A and B are shown apart, each in its own frame.
Chain A
Amino acid sequence: MKVRIDADLCQGHAMCALACPELFQLSDEDGHAYVEDENVPPEYEAAVERAVRSCPEGAIQTS
């Protein structure tokens, strides 16, 4: 699984960081989310799915 955050849609609600703090980081500048590596280790796939369903802006896509 790969995960991508649409930077135009992300507004820093930070729900993804609550769903999966191991993968989603929050910017020190504006609190918007980013991932260091778009490849999702298998053990975090379920948490990333929860992050997708937690995002009010619909900013997270997986493939």
Chain B
Amino acid sequence: MTEFSSKDAKACPVHFDHHTVDHTKQWPETYRKLREECPRAWTDNYDGFWVATRLSDIVGVAQQSDAFSAHKEVDFENGTSTGGVTIPPAGTTRGIPNEADNPEWEGIRRFINRRFAPRAIEERRAKAKQFTAALVDMVIETGECDFVDDLTSALPALVTMEIFGFPLDEWRKFADPFHTMVFTPIHDPAFAETVRGLDYFRERVDEEIAKRRIEPKDDFLTLLATGEINGEPLTWQQIRDLSFNILAGGVDTTTALASNALIWLGRNPGERQRLIDDPDLMPFACEEFIRFYSPIGALSRTAIKDTEVDGWTIRKGERVLMAYAGGNRDPEAFEDPEQVKIDRFPNKHVGFGAGMHRCLGSFLARMMFQEMIGEVLRRLPDYTIDEDGLRQYPSISGVNGWISIPAHFTPGAKVGAVIE
């Protein structure tokens, strides 16, 4: 439970732990109370950190990247780390450019930005459409499916594999460890085991990079193997950290977004019909689901100097959790913030973060969301969610997602799409 002991913004100690099952069950209420009573809260958990829940404060922190560091320092000898974008820092795995400051950040983003910019992503749409149609083909004759296993987990993983240049049939081996890692609570003894599951991914990256150095192809692995950042080839560590960041960003976040949207549309058939009748609403609905569910609910920074954000003083060394999920329901920024309005606009959500670290894959996420939801609405328009079979992530500290979403629908015909 989150308890409040002061309304003074400068001395507002709370008990807050985003890794608990309680948080998963009641985060909208927790963030609402924090925003109203204690928008710049301090908790002693995990060596102490601020929790920012107002949209303007979150943007204020995110935009001051010279004062608030995202850099993660890894001590491989002792297996520990400090800083980075999670509280507490998880193990020795570092994602770049997400956990990098300037000048390192700029070199990496310049190296990869173009691959994730709108034009490059549009060029991938036809393939994503084909994969989505093939995934629906696999279940459409049976009249039932699990939206997570059969679609929302599969499509982002397949598209990510395609971008990298990994064999598509390995997608489950890549995606499952990330999937399990993000929903296993860090206090759970199984967490360490799930993190070790990432070793397969690291080994495969190393193998494929070695192959690309001998035989280059037209894929992301080749760029990593043969490209240069600031005139230097990438180190093995850079290749691992960068590919980890891209895979982690690719495989579970859009999964969570589409999963939440499918549940909401299943529970709101009138609004689902509205989206079927007016597909032009899709981009607006996409932004609204990102706002409302905030697939990545919070990320952190560390102050590297005493800094002020609109009258709030953060001391050097203090950590700040930017609770995007809280900011995205801030009534100062959104009318009726606790309501989903599929045509909401303007919608200045921070579901993709803010400041220079704005989600690299945001255009890819939107494209995949549109393809998945569009295909379901066209081919499984009468689906119903089996509410008793829904299984939410126990911990949403990483990603606000679902393990299982069983559904039924009127069987239909295959269109003959294939995954290749």
Chain A residues in the interface with B (C-beta under 8 A) = 9, 11-15, 18-19, 26-31, 50-51, 53-58
CA distance A51 to B346 in the complex (A): 7
Contact between chains at A56 and B348 (CB < 8 Å):
yes
Instruction: Give Cα A57 to B56, complex, Å.
Output: 10
Question: Are the CB atoms of B346 and A26 closer together than 8 Å?
Answer: no
Given contacts A53-B346, A53-B348, A55-B348, are A26 and B117 in contact (CB under 8 A)?
yes
B280 to chain A, nearest CB (A): 11
Contact B347 A54 (CB under 8 A): yes
Q: Check A15–B347 contact: CB distance below 8 A.
A: yes
Would A30 and B113 be within 8 Å (CB), given that A15-B348, A56-B350 are in contact?
A: yes
Is the Cβ of A28 less than 8 Å from the Cβ of B118?
yes
Given A26-B118, A56-B349: A18 in contact with B287 (beta carbons within 8 A): yes
> Range of interface residues on chain B?
20 to 34
Interface residues of B (CB under 8 A from A): 59, 63, 109, 113-114, 116-120, 283-284, 287, 345-350, 352, 354-356, 358, 362-363
Cα separation A27 to B116 with both chains bound (whole Å): 11
> In angstroms, how far is the closest chain B Cβ from the Cβ of A52?
8
Given A11-B358, A18-B287, A28 and B119 touching (CB < 8 A)?
A: yes
**Which residues on the A side are within 8 Å of B283 (C-beta)?**
18
C-alpha gap A9/B287 in the complex (Å): 20
* Contacting residues, chain B, for A15 (C-beta < 8 A): 287, 346-348
| Contact in complex: A14, B362 (CB < 8 Å) | yes
How far in angstroms is the closest Cβ of chain B from A32? 9
Main secondary structure of the interface of A (DSSP, over half): loop
Docked complex Cα distance between A41 and B363 (Å): 28
- A3 → chain B closest CB, angstroms: 15
Q: Which of A27, A28, A31, A54 contacts B348 (CB 8 A)?
A: A54
Residues from chain A with a CB closer than 8 A to the CB of B120 are: 28
CA distance A13 to B349 in the complex (A): 9
Query: Which residue of chain B is the closest to A18 with respect to CB atoms?
Result: B283
With A9-B63, A18-B287, A56-B59 as contacts: A31 and B345 at CB distance below 8 Å: no
Contact pick for A54, options B113, B346, B362, B363, CB 8 Å = B346
**Which of B118, B346, B347, B362 lies at the interface centre, i.e. has the most chain A CB atoms within 10 A of its CB?**
B346
A sample of 19 cross-chain residue pairs with beta-carbon separation below 8 angstroms, ordered by A number, consists of A11-B356, A12-B362, A13-B358, A15-B287, A15-B346, A15-B348, A18-B283, A18-B345, A19-B345, A26-B118, A27-B117, A28-B119, A28-B120, A30-B109, A30-B113, A54-B348, A56-B349, A56-B354, A57-B63
